[in-house]
Amino acid sequence: MKRCILVALLFAGLLAPSAARAVEYPAADGYVTDTANILDPHIEDYLETLLKAFDEKTTAQVAVATVPSTKPENIDMYANKLFEKWAVGSAGKDNGALLVIAKNDRRLRIENGYGLEGAITDIEAKHIIDDVITPQFKMNNFNDGVVEGVHAIVDQAGEDYGVTRDSLGVARVNTLQPIPEDATKLSWKEYLAVGGLIFFLLFIIIISLVTMKKGGKGKYKYRSSSSGRSGGSSPFRGGRSGGGGASGSW
């Protein structure tokens, strides 16, 4: 009896880590789902507009998903399953492409549907990853890397439909927003206002610390927030993955 209990406890112990490391797949939030928060809001909006226009012009769909990690799965398996979960592309045409970026793992993959494997071959997908995206990622230029990568995917896929990026009518976005020269210059009134705000915040912090100390055990509650669009929904129409594509790292 004791041996049975010991075996049961050991088995439960082996299962616990697996349950704790369950893979999470984000729900699609439009064509771009940035759960790793690597894109500036105006970049995400630009990509959303571009990919929507490309979809409407060709019926082919390109999606971008950024996640903190794909572990315990590798990037290849994760991208394939996420593609199937989202159903990128049109049913019967399977003309979808999915770019998955795992920030903490420093891994990425382009996954294709059967309908785009002629336009975006495994060799071409590898070229886009190694020569277009990862050089930017190595310099922490995530905006540039994703934008240039999506441009390359759209350009390649568009060849099958006789569509160019320029014909979509979407003005290219500046990946880096310039800071106006006068933006860094403060007037004496603004200096006073900033100083007063800092003093007020310090006062509030000191009062809070004193209050918490008197009140005994305190509990901090932190709610994370992410930038980007809200209220998005999946635009995908039942496409399936062909298992083709390429992976890389930076």
pLDDT for position 226: 39
- Are 54 and 62 in contact by the 8 Å Cβ rule? The answer is yes
What is the pLDDT confidence band of residue 201, given thresholds at 50, 70 and 90?
low
Is residue 188 in a domain? no
| Omega within 30 of 0 (cis) for the link into 41 | no
- Band of the pLDDT at 139, cuts 50, 70, 90? very high
Domain count, the chain: 1
Residue scoring higher pLDDT (104 or 208): 104
Those residues whose C-beta lies under 8 Å from the C-beta of residue 110, and which sit 6 or more positions away, are 97, 98, 99, 100, 120, 125, 128, 129, 153, 245, 246, 247
Residue 15 lies in a domain: no
Tell me the mean pLDDT in the region 82-86.
95
Q: pLDDT value at position 14?
A: 44
Bigger pLDDT: 173 or 222?
173
- pLDDT tens per residue, range 30-74: 999 999 999 999 999 999 999 999 999 999 999 999 999 999 999
The mean predicted confidence, pLDDT, of the chain is: 80
Which residue stretches of 138-187 are H helix? 142-159
Question: Does some domain include residue 5?
Answer: no
Would you say residue 227 lies in a domain?
no
- The 10s digit of each residue's pLDDT in 213-241 is 555 444 333 333 333 444 457 888 666 77
Residue 175 lies in a domain: no
Distance from C-alpha of 244 to C-alpha of 250, rounded to nearest angstrom? 21
Q: How confident is the model at residue 198 (pLDDT cuts 50, 70, 90)?
A: confident
Q: Regarding beta strands 61-67 and 32-34, do their DSSP bridges make them parallel or antiparallel, or are they unpaired?
A: parallel
More confident residue, 181 or 107: 107
Q: Are strands 96-102 and 107-113 parallel, antiparallel or unpaired?
A: antiparallel
Whether 135 is covered by a domain: the verdict is yes
Instruction: Say which CATH number the domain at 28 has.
Output: 3.10.310.50
pLDDT for res 87: 92
Tell me if 215 is assigned to some domain: no
On whether residue 212 sits in a domain, the answer given is no
The CA-based dihedral angle spanning residues 152, 84, 73, 248, taken in that order and rounded to the nearest 10 degrees? -10
Q: In terms of Cα–Cα distance, which of 6, 31, 20, 25 is closest to 153?
A: 31
Residue 152's pLDDT band, with cuts at 50, 70 and 90, is very high
For 57, the domain range is 21-165+235-244
- Minimum mean pLDDT among 35-44, 99-108, 192-201, 236-245: which range? 192-201
